Structure 1
Amino acid sequence: MNSYKNALNPVILKDLATAWLREDLPNFDLGAVLATDEEVVAKIYCKSDGVLAGIPFANAVFTELECSPNWFFNEGEDLKGSPTTEVAYVGGKARNILLAERTVLNTISRCSGVASVAKRIKTKLDAVNWKGYVAGTRKTTPGFRMVEKYGLLVGGASSHRYDLSNMIMVKDNHINLCGGSVKKAVSRVKEVAGFVNKIEVECRSHKEVVEAASAEVDIIMLDNFSPKDAKASSLWLKQHEPQILIEASGNINEDNVINYALPSIDIISMSCLVQGYKTVDFSMKILTPQ
């Protein structure tokens, strides 16, 4: 089982945990008068089927509040919600566990939701022996991108580019700003790309595909192509410019993704991996002292 926690900057994790806790408690927590500094133990339960993800983010929150979690499962493992599954024990002061509760549950439920849909789709594509990459897009929740992109990795998908500084993607609006000329747009970005930045062009038609190919780009995205048109354009590219990676994107979901799993398609990117996903249901309960 791969672990991706070391890919996360511990300073960023600490900053995220602090910001989330401040958001949830900007001033008084009057309900905490019922809590104490007594050391207690709580359990985290999973109440719906899914893939566990987001442990490093939960641990960062617990660390800020001097709580000690003990996880019973590794990230990437499948959890059952019926009957409920005990996922972790957490020890700490009662008031601190209550302060951590909702932030931790919100984080792992969403991260696990992304990992779950990613794993389902990856499994479906593996079943038809497709060898390409399935990737999440940049349509993430503002302020929550690191968690959702991390969930993709845990679920077996590619995170695609993380932000605007990763790779140069020439999109439709860039082309429009260059008078509709793909070649002009690519020529301008090549002036600043240097030797470390790949260039991808989002193409809306086969005509733009041909133009992008002649501009010697690294990746061509077939944007909102039907499976039939994607097959035709990708086969043309493999015949004429085999070094160019081909990405299919736009209106691709769990129901139709198999239609794009063609030998001539290298990447399938999907916004449904990070937008509109179903979360995994977790809860936390403080154990009653015996």
Structure 2
Amino acid sequence: MSGPSSNPDFSALLPPNLGPLITSWLAEDTPSFDYGGFVVGNAPRSATLFCKSAGLLAGVPFFNAVFAHLNCEVEWHFKEGDYIDPSTQGGKVAAATVTGPTRNLLLGERVALNTLSRCSGIATASRSMVKIARDAGYKGVVAGTRKTTPGFRVVEKYGMLVGGADPHRYDLSAMVMLKDNHVWSTGSISNAVAEAKRVGGFAVKVEVEVRSEEEAIEAIEAGAEVVMLDNFKGDELRKVARSLKEKYGKRVLLECSGGLTVQNVGEFICDDLDIISTSAIHQSTQHIDFSLKINH
């Protein structure tokens, strides 16, 4: 078990009312009769949340919100962002105690566990990716992507933050990212950037995905603030990034993306890159194993 977490309280970022989201999760899991809940009744009981695999604890606000909605209370024995390693403590660690009506404990069990497990898994993968990049000498931003699960984005982006990764843009309204389909639909990079600038105004950054140095130059000259070098790797990536930084300096942020994983991140490390982004920290990530057991 690690000491107290130095992570900031990211729960302050969340909307003040998670109610509709929590309600939708619970309604999906119990759309009509709760047969098991009828069996156990409403007598007050306590349950222990066990962590059974190593990783960062993340998703505490969502876990709390699920049980608060069901009139249950949660007492945590760790702080969000702490690393828990059950292998050093007999295979499982008591991470929290939940108290409330027995039926409600079981109503919230699977929804809360699924959310906590996935969020913690993403935080753990994010922390691992950031550490690998830092150990390789990279000083820029390690970011996730928008390839998140519909309806679950707030949880997944939150997990990235707890793990120390940048969540990148949150949605289509957060910033303009012009990809190949935008360019093909408007005829050119310059046309696409001009249209984006016209409606986005001064407050919205424009990023353009490019496949060559020539396209990058066109995007920058058209006014793009961020250029994504898509599927560039190794020497080609370093050469193009160096050339663009020598020409434009801080006028543009350079991002690379496309196929970046824990195994190959070294191919993307480059001092001239401001951002490396990947979906590997939140797609197909290993969940952290948690269980909730009624105390008896």
- Report the TM-score range of the alignment, normalised by the length of the smaller protein: over 0.9
Q: Per-residue deviation at 1:60?
A: 0.6
Counterpart residue number, 1:7: 13
Instruction: State the identity %.
Output: 45
Per-residue CA distance 1:182-202 (angstroms, 9 max, x = gap): 111111211112110011000
1:42 to 38, 47, 55: 47
**Residue type of the partner of 2:132?**
K
For 1:19-98, list aligned pairs within 5 A. 19-82=24-87, 83-98=91-106
Counterpart residue number, 2:23: 18
Counterpart residue number, 1:218: 225
**SS of match in other structure, 1:273:** coil
**Residue type of the partner of 1:71?**
W
Q: Per-residue deviation at 1:271?
A: 0.9
**Residue type of the partner of 2:228?**
M
2:284 to 273, 276, 289: 276
TM-score for both structures, normalised by structure 1: 0.96
Q: 2:203, 2:221 → 1: CA distance? A: 20
**Residue type of the partner of 1:86?**
A
1:197 to 197, 201, 204: 204
1:143 to 145, 151, 156: 151
CA contact (8 A) 2:125 2:285 kept: yes
Larger CA deviation: 264-273 vs 204-213: 204-213
Q: 1:32, 1:189 → 2: CA distance? A: 53
For 1:185-264, list aligned pairs within 5 A. 185-242=192-249, 243-264=251-272
Counterpart residue number, 1:182: 189
Larger CA deviation: 30-39 vs 144-153: 30-39
**Residue type of the partner of 2:9?**
S
Per-residue CA distance 1:105-164 (angstroms, 9 max, x = gap): 000000001000000011112223321111110000111000000000000000000000
**Residue type of the partner of 2:25?**
W
Q: Per-residue deviation at 1:81?
A: 3.1
Q: Per-residue deviation at 1:47?
A: 0.8
2:165 to 128, 153, 157: 157
Larger CA deviation: 91-100 vs 121-130: 121-130
CA contact (8 A) 2:37 2:104 kept: no
Q: 2:183, 2:284 → 1: CA distance? A: 29
Aligned residues, how many?
A: 286
Q: 2:94, 2:198 → 1: CA distance? A: 55
**Residue type of the partner of 2:16?**
P
Q: Per-residue deviation at 1:206?
A: 1.8
Q: 2:215, 2:66 → 1: CA distance? A: 48
**Residue type of the partner of 2:70?**
L
TM-score for both structures, normalised by structure 2: 0.95
* RMSD of aligned Cα (Å): 1.0
The reply to whether residue 126 of structure 1 matches residue 134 of structure 2 is yes
**Residue type of the partner of 2:185?**
L
Q: Per-residue deviation at 1:33?
A: 2.4
Q: Could you list the runs of 5+ residues in structure 2 that have no partner in the other structure? A: 1-5
Per-residue CA distance 1:165-208 (angstroms, 9 max, x = gap): 011111110001122x1111111211112110011000012221
CA contact (8 A) 2:143 2:277 kept: yes
CA contact (8 A) 1:209 1:233 kept: no
Instruction: Give the 4+ runs in structure 1 shifted more than 2 A.
Output: none
Q: 1:226, 1:263 → 2: CA distance? A: 14
CA contact (8 A) 1:47 1:282 kept: yes
**Residue type of the partner of 1:207?**
E
Q: 1:22, 1:173 → 2: CA distance? A: 37
